Amino acid sequence: MVLEKIYVVRHGFRSNWVVDPNTGTYSSNITSPTGIPSDPALASYGVKQAEQLGEHLSNLQPPVDIIFSSPFYRCIQTLVPFTTSEAARDKAQSLKAGNHTSETKVRVNIEPGLGEFYGLARFDHPSPATLKVLNTHFPNLQATENPIIVPSTKGESIPQLHDRIAYCLHSLIATIDAMPDGPKALLICTHAASMIAIGRALTGRMPDDECEEDFKCFTCSFSQFSRKEGGKMAGVADDSLSVSEAVEKWDPNNADEVPDIGWRNKGIQGGWKIEVNGDCSFLENGEERGWDFSIEERTAMEEAARVLLELAAGVSTPGSKDEEVGGEEELEAEEEEAESEELKEGEYIW
């Protein structure tokens, strides 16, 4: 058996942070559970979204066999309602079968290659918490001995993000295909930019305009991909890279270099087709906080203009601490005040 379905979800509403574009110092008004300002928990509204998403995931066919997540707290927390309900169901089935001793935990595999997108910057972006720290909050986590790939702390360009995601997926799918128990359905929890890149990498469709709104990524939205007929099925050849073909491995000592697997116009491991694109029909308030790469391009242009002004003036122009330097999160910062006003009737924390 090989992998047949890939389910992709984005994390729910989260609390926010800001960064000083001159120093790269991140800060937040709400303390992060991991102690990292750019690694916030979900807002209480996001927790409710996650509960609704969890119910939807529990009804999928084929059911989820294996889970991988970004290492950021908000992604792992988004999965908690689903993994908790699945563990309870598995325990009930074990008890019914007369097994009163087995421990039932639905494991979440942590992979940095599925992590956040930060735009290129002159300073180091924060790294996510270690597995040791995360395990104090989530007891069901599992990490591979060696991550597939770790994003550069200096950030990434948009093409680099897509290549990182494509390489991560290529290696991840190959590993799952080779598992003796033959998982059929993979669930991934990630971020907005990464969710878009996943859709493009799996299908091989990279638009000429990176800002094209093709793959949707609302908070707690759900996308579904199906393997193309014959793609990487046992004994069937295709024109894409196979599991057995030699692919240059990512080198931690040369971390900024992402191996090229030639995914454009081909897809990953035989190619995939999209069946569900950013569905939010199961969420009480539907589609919220969409994102696209035009936001990243605008931010990069504003930062470049600011640097040019500094050079022309011969001085350092102080930046606003409310400014985001690259990455997918700027839209959330812009919308936060308006949305928090709308949600004042509940006990929502931002």
Instruction: Report the pLDDT averaged over residues 87-112.
Output: 81
Q: How far apart are CA 95 and CA 31, in angstroms?
A: 40
- Asked if the model's pLDDT at residue 335 lies above 50, the reply is no
- Asked if the model's pLDDT at residue 93 lies above 70, the reply is yes
Instruction: Report the pLDDT averaged over residues 80-108.
Output: 82
Which pLDDT score, from 0 to 100, does residue 197 have? 99
Confidence of residue 299 (pLDDT cuts 50, 70, 90): low
Maximum distance among all Cα pairs of the chain, rounded to whole angstroms: 77
Confidence of residue 102 (pLDDT cuts 50, 70, 90): low
- Kind and range of the H or E run holding 110: strand 108-110
Q: pLDDT tens, 192-222?
A: 999 999 999 999 999 999 999 999 999 999 9
Tokens of 135: 């395990």
110: β partners: 69, 143
Provide φ and ψ at 298, rounded to 5°: -65, -40
For residue 60, count other CB atoms closer than 10 A to its CB.
15
User: Which is more confident, 241 or 32?
Assistant: 32
Amino acid symbol at 243:
V
Which pLDDT score, from 0 to 100, does residue 24 have? 76
Which pLDDT score, from 0 to 100, does residue 259 have? 93
Q: Flag the least confident range among 2-16, 49-63, 241-255, 323-337.
A: 323-337
Q: Which residue has the tokens 């539907």?
A: 286
Instruction: Report the pLDDT averaged over residues 255-260.
Output: 89
Which CATH code is given to the segment(s) 5-342? 3.40.50.1240
Residue 206 burial class via C-beta count within 10 angstroms: exposed 0-12, middle 13-18, buried 19 and up: middle
Say what percent of the chain tops pLDDT 90.
60
Q: How far apart are CA 253 and CA 53, in angstroms?
A: 39
Amino acid symbol at 319:
G
Tokens of 251: 């080198």
Q: How far apart are CA 156 and CA 300, in angstroms?
A: 11
Q: pLDDT tens, 124-172?
A: 888 999 999 999 999 999 987 789 999 999 999 999 999 999 999 999 9
- Asked if the model's pLDDT at residue 345 lies above 70, the reply is no
Contact call for residues 16 and 336 (beta carbons, < 8 A): yes
Instruction: Report the pLDDT averaged over residues 272-287.
Output: 99
Q: Flag the least confident range among 162-171, 229-238, 325-334.
A: 325-334
Return all residues near 293 (Cβ < 8 A) that are at least 6 apart.
Answer: 158, 193, 196, 210, 211
What mean pLDDT is reported for the chain?
83
Instruction: Report the pLDDT averaged over residues 44-51.
Output: 98
For residue 237, count other CB atoms closer than 10 A to its CB.
10
